[in-house]
Chain A
């Protein structure tokens, strides 16, 4: 078993705290994405796990083996943890094959493993080439194979696709996820690209300012973010203010019913809010507002759909076109607030058109004052 357990690890540079009591469990064989903005401590976390950065507190365990603890720290070369840095960082003086085999002792086993891995990453016949002859994507694959060669217990990937163009990075990210599953490797992927994280990870941990703010499946992170900050970091949001009502709406009357029935990942509701979108089903997470409290209402643009029968009247104010869909901005009749809805191409409305907008998913409810929200 190669489950990785981080318990309350703390790292700081001088007075600045880079990691503040971070705890995380990465189950054996799974891929966890660490998602966060620049400077949130993602890279520090990986370097601490790799033993390249000393801990000030907490412990790191792989299976039942303690790598970093209060007393000892196993040096990087004895940890059994692989690392794929931001830039591929291939050894420029060694061939592709020697790069992949760097972490293994010379012999037949090494040659076989190098051959097996070059095949796995789709670079057969590249063994003799020098790293300078590789494209960015190829170099990243070699860096991955090099880290996998000694069969590490845990693999760390630090924004491995950051330097690549967007088309390449998505296909490479899927390739890497496939390779990791085939090798049954426990892995942590650090990224600031939310689509990449939601797409390939089994679990996503969102980090901000040296702390882990939320851990969950990609669906949980996107549909039930624990704070408004997480909500806006992992996707587009529409924010409104509203008044909380603790009683639920009649399900047969509720616009969210078709997304709210029984089944996995169904959001459900804990009450409803009165806001510019009318009376809509809502879920308050981590907070218990009292009946009549003013709250912050957050919905996703794709939860809003044009409707002829239900919802509130709205007029198209502007369309920001993105090819496959568009974010359409609406003025809500009788309300100063505006909302944006994601509408799939090719049936895009034009400016000035009138619609009814309905919410098809329970709204998310957070405390009204942003300064309170930040403390969550």
Chain B
């Protein structure tokens, strides 16, 4: 039967509101570029040619490359073990391997610092960031492997290839897009990470931006570093797009799992366990030990803790609502129509994914100071920053939940007398609402963990759990930081874990 969809022209008001939404989320980046273009070429060159800047950039790119390459190799291996080797409790293992996603990087480094106070430099940063980000590769590759028939690999074996070569020549081309896309997320995560590298005193661009902003009145240096960071991010995003070759997968009819001998099974299990142990178990263990220590219980300031929790939860809830409102017209447009402009809008909608939090924070400092000074250092700007940063998470789930409502249902509602808007209210909205809820929850959970933009934009005297944890730790008060870390795990990490159990899509979005 012929399919006759997607030919209808999108309604003007929908295109207009989606365009407005894009314009709004583009404010930070556009404003930063506009400010950057006011600087003279000499000024820019002078900043960029400082050896210090070259060192920061090299540190950043080196760390990001090392972490993402390791994550791709390790994540693909773990995904292969989880899907192709016969293991007991396979589902539980998959869930456990997703856990590091729920732990913000600075919490992991805090936990390690509690256990091993002297940690610093490249190696600890590299190991910890890899442990925390591996699931970005493991989960999509495992999903791709589950959708890929193992028959091809078996055929290759019967044609005389060894197991590794069979995997490389048959299966890898089919999961490569998932692995590379996961690697990109890891690269962007590492690039924009601030808390972990700062705690472990490994100097990257985000750290440099924060220093330049805090230390000098001339903020153009911070702006130039931020632009440099954005350029690196965009180059990597574009390179990944160019390298992406979609291979049509052979559909999995059955998935065979292989039995392996006991010693090898131990090695496989150890590999699967490595990231959760390094990224979750040891840090949370360190935190737990510290939490029950006498010193901590004496130092805990309950009213301050309650206030920070309230601010964190309140700001996150607001951010989730705003992000959903911004994402909805875009999601509705992208789910139902396809033309060039809709494609452009949707791609722009995902752009904030590539923009580091510290860049959005810095740009909104400039923006609020010079355009809306009344809002400078208010919750309005902070919530707006959160909404811009994490809107793509709501966009993805909102889009797919609208898409899952069959257009036939809408057509039926129309022939039964409902106008387009009424059909949306009576059919699309009730069916897509759970998806919208999950999208908003994702935004809220991620917002609670946000650190660098919060540090720049929070109103004076207002603290979130993340900033409290940060300032205690940077002052060396590990004990005093423990209660904040614990509450943060309670309000952000645990819901994230539950959500990742509820919905497999959500795991890849966090």
Which A residues lie at the B interface, using CB under 8 A? 13, 18, 38-39, 41, 43-44, 47, 50-53, 75-79, 81-83, 85-87, 89, 91-93, 102-103, 143, 146-147, 149-150, 152, 159, 162
Contact = CB atoms under 8 A, between A and B. Distances in A.
Interface in B402-461: 406, 408-409, 411-419, 423, 426-427, 430-431
Contacts of B426: 102
A36 to B, nearest CB: 11
A83 B412 contact: yes
Contacts of A89: 406, 408-409, 412
B415 A91 contact: no
Contacts of A103: 415-417
Given A85-B408, A91-B427, A79 B2 contact: no
A91 B411 contact: no
Interchain residue pairs A-B with the least CB separation, the first 5: A103-B416, A76-B414, A83-B415, A89-B408, A85-B408
A14 to B, nearest CB: 9
Contacts of B413: 91, 102
A107 to B, nearest CB: 15
Given A75-B419, A103-B417, A150-B416, A50 B1 contact: no
A76 B409 contact: no
B11 interface: no
B430 A93 contact: yes
Given A93-B430, A93-B431, A18 B2 contact: yes
Contacts of B247: none
B2 A38 contact: yes
B235 interface: no
B1 A77 contact: no
Contacts of B423: 77
A86 B417 contact: no
A157 to B, nearest CB: 12
A102 B416 contact: yes
B7 interface: yes
A53 B4 contact: yes
A159 B417 CA distance: 22
A41 B3 CA distance: 10
Contacts of A81: 415
B478 to A, nearest CB: 51
Nearest to A16: B2
Contacts of A143: 412
Contacts of A76: 411, 414-415
B415 A82 contact: yes
B408 A147 contact: no
A92 B416 CA distance: 16
B411 A50 contact: yes
A18 B4 CA distance: 10
Contact of B408 (A44, A77, A87, A149): A87
A53 B423 CA distance: 17
Contacts of B409: 89, 91
A77 B4 contact: no
Contact of A52 (B414, B427, B431): B414
A77 B417 contact: yes
B498 to A, nearest CB: 24
Interface string B86-103: 000000000000000000
Contacts of A47: 4, 411
Q: Which of B406, B408, B412 has the most chain A CB atoms closer than 10 A to its own CB? A: B412
A85 B4 contact: no
A151 to B, nearest CB: 11
